[in-house]
């Protein structure tokens, strides 16, 4: 049938038409909070919340003032935050879909490092923008504590992998100018 969508696009499947303002994170334990699914759902909620709040704010400003001023005044906080939250969601969601590619009997350390980097990435993105998370009841104080504690735990667990992680970067000799590890041996 022409014009029907068989599979939703990855970039829009997270949009929720019902209000998400009063929703709360469903994780009751620290382990539930740290699951890949919960972390991705947190970013979906945030993008939905900012989309709905910004849409309502923009509609109100456009009806009350000059359209140019309405757009300009909405960009400072609403539209910029929305764009950033969408970027964070896509980044976290894409990272999450790639995690299983590293699972398997080949190298458990690689999977552990990738999984820790995923958690650290997601938790750091949340912590960096904690004001948006706390202006609604979505996260409670205990969950914020789990978030911050686990950033430190991820960093601590990554310590033993520091050399391997650093070796995976590819700086040129001009960038590091090191006699200890020149590219030509």
In terms of pTM, does the model score above 0.85? no
Q: Does any domain span residue 144?
A: yes
Tokens 């990435």, residue?
A: 121
Residue 172 lies in a domain: no
Contact 145, 121 (CB under 8 A): no
Inside any domain, residue 138: yes
**Phi, psi (deg, nearest 5) at residue 140:** -100, 175
- Which of 23-32, 54-63, 156-165, 172-181 has the least mean pLDDT? 172-181
pLDDT at 183 exceeding the cut of 80: no
93 assigned to some structural domain: yes
* Half-sphere CA count of 101, side-chain side, radius 13 A: 6
Examine residue 110 and state whether it is found in any structural domain, yes or no: yes
Task: Name the domain count of the chain.
Answer: 1
| pLDDT tens track for 124-140 | 999 998 988 888 899 99
Q: Residue 37 has what pLDDT? A: 96
56 within a domain of the structure (yes/no):
yes
Determine the Cα–Cα distance for residues 175 and 42; give it in Å rounded to an integer. 38
Tell me which residue range forms the domain holding 116.
Answer: 30-166
CATH of the domain at 153: 1.20.140.10
pLDDT (tens digit per residue) in 32-43? 999 999 999 999
Whether 17 is in a domain gets the answer no
pLDDT of the residue at 176: 61
Q: What per-residue confidence (pLDDT) applies to 71?
A: 75
pLDDT digits (tens, 9 = 90+) for 55-101: 888 888 878 888 787 777 777 777 888 889 999 999 999 999 888 88
What does the mean pLDDT of the chain come to?
A: 84
pLDDT surpassing 90 at residue 44: yes
Residue 183 inside a domain? The answer is no
């Amino acid at each position: 049938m022409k014009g029907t969508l068989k599979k939703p696009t990855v970039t829009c499947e997270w949009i929720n038409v019902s209000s998400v303002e009063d929703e709360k994170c469903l994780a009751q334990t620290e382990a539930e909070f740290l699951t890949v699914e919960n972390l991705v759902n947190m970013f979906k909620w945030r993008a939905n919340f900012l989309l709905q709040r910004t849409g309502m704010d923009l509609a109100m400003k456009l009806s009350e003032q000059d359209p140019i001023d309405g757009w300009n005044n909405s960009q400072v906080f609403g539209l910029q935050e929305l764009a950033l939250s969408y970027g964070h969601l896509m980044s976290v969601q894409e990272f999450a879909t790639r995690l299983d590619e590293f699972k398997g009997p080949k190298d458990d350390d690689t999977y552990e490092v990738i999984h820790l980097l995923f958690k650290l990435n997601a938790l750091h993105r949340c912590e960096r923008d904690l004001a948006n998370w706390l202006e609604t009841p979505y996260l409670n104080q205990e969950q914020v504590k789990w978030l911050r504690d686990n950033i430190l735990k991820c960093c601590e667990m990554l310590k033993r992998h520091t050399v391997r992680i650093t070796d995976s970067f590819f700086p040129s000799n001009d960038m590091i100018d090191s006699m200890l590890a020149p590219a030509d041996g």
